[in-house]
Chain A
Amino acid sequence: MKVTIDGIEIDVPKGTTILQAARMIGPEVAPPAMCYYTKLKTSGGYCRTCIVKVTQGSTANPNPMPKPVASCRTEVMDGMVVQNVTSPDLLEARKGVVEFLLINHPLDCPVCDQAGECKLQDLGYEHGSAKTRYEFKRREYEMIDIGDKIKLHMTRCILCYRCVKVCDQITDNRVHGVVHRGDASEISTYIAKAIDNDFSGNVIDVCPVGALTDKTFRFKQRVWFTKPVDAHRKCDKCSGKTRVWLKGEEVVRVTSRMDQWNEAEEFICNSCRYDHKRTSDWVIEGPTKISRHSVISQNHYEHLNELKLQVLKQQKALGFMPLDKRP
């Protein structure tokens, strides 16, 4: 099936969503996604940040779709034409969605463990306003412990439902879900019960904000002072392939390996995540490749040459003359 996104045509198999097609083209046209998660069934459609404008439904039915659609849950049709970053209206609409996500967010980034790798932070930076128009008291909740390893900070939650899907799809009983309604909705386990499952720690990895954090890592270190490396160990519960975050020689935390879209490549077990905090527990494969746009890459020097080239390229594009070449 042929689909055109922001003027770029791509051939995709039937059943591909617009978001997936856009990701195949590349990050320039891929809409942001806060709730969609490739590995979680029925995820997506909630946050509305990935909305796109469909200016032509398909070759068979060339009419535009009347409303912006959630690209993560809309499958492409043959001959579909989609506008994302090329439509100013759409960007304005997305700005509105981001504003809605932020009006009740505490913006406590300076003391939030997610800062530096928070998707809401990135989203706010890219699509948010400099000044809030919301003048009322923001929503607040008490912090809850979900077991002894996970802290739920509901005040920061954007109700993406990812953690609900993780628990739904990996636990036998429904013990983790949403209680209450509307803007009083709350992620909760069945009356502050711990999720008793070897894979429960993955709710931390899927959380796009700082609502679910690892208690063994909380307030230990800012992420940009840590150095992620890909590592593995022999594990009988999961693949054992993880990302180990080092501070000097110390393992400060263990997470699953995230791909380009900040989604876990493979979910890891709690034993790997919490119980193996010595460097000797792991076989280190090498440094994780981190986008140079990330604050975490401040700690990485292996991309320096690449960085230099990029700077030169940009200077060239802007018509800069290097100092030594100037007349």
Chain B
Amino acid sequence: MGRKLLIHNDKVPGIATLDVYRAHGGYASVEKALKTMTPDQVTDEVKKSGLRGRGGAGFPTGLKWSFLAKPEGVPRYLVCNADESEPGTFKDRYLMEVIPHALIEGMITSSYALGAKVSYIYIRGEYFYVARIVENAIKEAYAAGWLGKNILGTNFSHDCYVQVGGGAYICGEETGLLESLEGKRGNPRIKPPFPAVAGLWGCPTVVNNVETIAAVVPIVNDGGEAYAKIGIGKSTGTKLISASGHINKPGTYEIELGIPVEEFIYSEEYCGGIRNGKKMKAVVAGGSSVPILPTELILKTAKGEPRLMTYESLADGGFQTGTMLGSGGFIVMDEDTSIVKNLFTFTRFYHHESCGQCSPCREGTGWMEKILKKFLNGTANESDVELLWDIQSKIEGKTICPLGEAAAWPVAAAIRHFKQEFLDIAKSKKFVDVSHYNRLNKITA
């Protein structure tokens, strides 16, 4: 059994309430930080831990915190990004639903380190019931004195608010989130300036993922060095993985970074193998935007080494033969899956979610969806594969925010690894499995 630091208590009855959470060692990190440590010491522990952003980009958290500008007389903010919208990702929801106090504890400890008197938890609109759970937990925390004025009798005061978004993928991009939080249209901002300098209402702001903030709790409790001992190299600690697709046991798992991908998919502790005794065809390892990999490349790198669940190992070989750990949305597809249909679903999503600010993403995502629809209708030509490739290459890297890349990468990877499938449809002018697509079509029509 791998060690668990975040959801080890998830099966304890009543863990969502403050009393049970406290009885299982909750809020110890707040006590330790506020009473025995200075804010800089907390930041140092996070730096030592090697914790990397769990939202998808994997940027070192300690470094991000140290970039925070600290001008005199200007408030600083901590914003928790709970707008978990990456298709295939549902780890933050599980954490907030089951152990909401873990997030609030992390928010208080992190805010203490950053010197933020106010923090916000921005939850996506579809998670309205999760927002209620978190709000209840915040209420409990206020009543018990963990939030509010002079926490634990120290001179640190802190207020934490929940803001529910309108349900847009783009508001998971940190500057889009900040715009939305300010009550504006959720259009990502042009960077620089980065939020660490001018974020929420123009003040220095740190935006962190739910899991990142929750991971600060064990780091403060056990020390950054103990945390860094888990994992391999620069991938330290544990990571929540949302496993879905054609596996026997879909769900949210906490893994120690560094276990082999093969173990994760086939062991009984985690996914439990491919369902119905089928063979695996492909895996999207980190949420829908990361490149899809065929079985032979997800289990082993191009050099023949076993692939591990780490930031580095999954990215080994670049995008030619590798992928990314991303947000940990692990989607497994069996041999019956149509990659083309899957790609259509992804692309349709990005088209729908593009904010429309910059031209390549606004126009390109819709164009790609229309071409992929041709494949599903059986009216595509072989030249359409080249065209798709060209369009994605003209979106990638030309946009304001990473949504452009998120839309372009899956298309590029599907063509890179499964080109024959596209060509077969184009040649035979026939796409067989349309049931799922027809259903989708009815919804959108």
Contacts and interface: CB of A to CB of B under 8 A. Distances in A.
A93 B404 CA distance: 14
B199 interface: no
A182 B387 contact: no
Given A67-B397, A67-B398, A103-B367, A48 B360 contact: yes
A183 B394 contact: no
Contact of B357 (A46, A177, A180): A46
A203 to B, nearest CB: 19
B356 A70 contact: no
Given A46-B358, A178-B185, A100 B399 contact: no
Given A68-B397, A183-B366, A48 B352 contact: no
Given A93-B394, A133-B387, A182-B353, A100 B364 contact: yes
**Most chain A beta-carbon contacts within 10 A, residue among B353, B356, B363, B397:** B363
B168 interface: yes
Contacts of A51: 398
A99 interface: yes
A47 B398 contact: no
Nearest to A34: B359
Given A136-B370, A177-B185, A181-B168, A158 B359 contact: yes
A184 B365 CA distance: 12
Interface in A94-135: 96-97, 99-101, 103-104, 133-134
Interface residues of B, number: 29
B400 interface: yes
Contacts of B398: 48, 51, 67-68, 93, 96-97
Contacts of A47: 358-359
Interface residue range, chain A = 20 to 34
Interface string B163-188: 00000101000000000000001000
Nearest to B356: A185
Nearest to B359: A100
Nearest to A136: B370
Contacts of B353: 181-182
Nearest to A95: B394
Contacts of B359: 46-49, 97, 100-101, 158-159
Given A96-B398, A99-B394, A182 B355 contact: yes
A73 B170 CA distance: 21
A46 B351 CA distance: 17
Contacts of A210: none
A178 B363 CA distance: 16
B190 interface: yes
B397 A182 contact: no
Contacts of A101: 359, 363
B246 interface: no
B394 A178 contact: no
Interface string B312-329: 000000000000000000
A96 to B, nearest CB: 3
Given A73-B190, A133-B387, A182-B351, A100 B394 contact: yes
A32 interface: no
A44 to B, nearest CB: 8
Contacts of A159: 356-357, 359, 362
10 contacts: A45-B190, A70-B400, A96-B393, A100-B359, A100-B363, A103-B367, A177-B185, A181-B356, A182-B353, A183-B351
Interface of B: 168, 170, 185, 190, 351-360, 362-367, 370, 387, 390, 393-394, 397-400
